[in-house]
Each structure stands twice: as C-alpha cells, then as structure tokens.
Amino acid sequence: MTHAAKKTRAWLGLGANQGDRRSCLRAAVLDLAAEPGLRVTAVSGLWESEYVGPGEQDPYLNACVEVETYLAPPVLLGLCKALERAYGRTPDTHLQPRPLDLDVLLYGDLHQSDADPLLPHPRLAARAFVLEPLAQIAPARVLPDSGKTVNAACAKIRREGGSWVRFLPDPAWPPRVADTEEDGRAALELHRR
C-alpha cells in the first residue's frame, strides 16, 4: 500500500440515487471510518439534489466527509472505487444512476492536473450538491486551483442558480464514527449484523 509522507487531511464527496440512499450513505461513512489508514474527522449533513447531466434520473442524496490519512491520493481513490463496487456500482456507469458514488474532492493543498486523481476534483467549484455539504465542514478551506475558499465558491454558485439542492435535517445523521481503530472495527461489525 502506498502511503503519503505525512498525514494529510482530505475531503470526500458521497452520493447515491438508487435504493435506500440514506442507509447507503450511512453505511459508507461507517465503512470509511473502519478503514485502516483513514480517520473520519467530520461529516456534513445530508443534502438532496437534482440530477445534473444528460437524461433524467432520480434525485441524489449527498454528503461530504473529512478524513485524515497517510494514504497517497491514488490509493485513496482506489479505496473509494472499491467501496463503490462493494455497494453494487458497476464499471462504466459514469452519468448513470448509482447506489454509491465516492469522489476525492480535495487532498490537502495538492493541485494536480496531470495525474489520477485530478485534484481538486475538476467539477468541484461548479456543483452545488458538493459545495453545500463541503461548506458545512470546511467553509474556510482554500481551493488550491482558484485560491477561493469553499464558502466563496458556494456563495458564487448560489448566486448563479441552476439545479436545485436542499438540506435535509435528520436527527439520526451523521452516523457516530469511532474515535479509535478498535472502536471502528466494533462499529463496523455492529453495522454489518
């Protein structure tokens, strides 16, 4: 497993528009928290959004998580793709309905346009369904490609309008993530029962 030279803070976007979206996102957060080499440090609220893309699809449920990790960006992306497959997403379903979508949005201050994953996520600043939950957990975070804060990018997209996105208050969200790796394994085992 490839590790970064130091612990890095990263932000991931989660989305789902098939099946029990809320349960899927809850389970995905718990699975992330149980992963060796990751510690979930913050979880946004839940946001419902209109599908953005060609054709018609059911609305998405979205959230963002902040993690601390030693995993290098390609390894973190690989972990996200493996979790998507575990939840039933099949290859070549870009812009198709999916039970789980996981994206690496930001990885520290890294800006890379010539390696996988592209960082920050190439469409981050144009998507309200990512910016709204991200602004809940990292409002002052500076986007390394534009120098704008997440809050500023979110305010800009609100002014421009576009597809709808709405906050969904949920007293049972976010899921409690464990503070230690041992607690994480216990929480995951309880979740899987």
Q: Which one of 31, 39, 103, 141 is the catalytic residue?
A: 103
Q: Which one of 101, 166, 179, 185 is the catalytic residue?
A: 101
CA distance 70 to 47: 29
CA distance 25 to 157: 24
| Residue 98 falls in the annotated catalytic set | yes
Report the amino acid identity of residue 34. A
Q: Which one of 21, 26, 39, 89 is the catalytic residue?
A: 89
Report the amino acid identity of residue 84. E
| Residue 101 falls in the annotated catalytic set | yes
Annotated catalytic sites, by residue? 89, 98, 101, 103
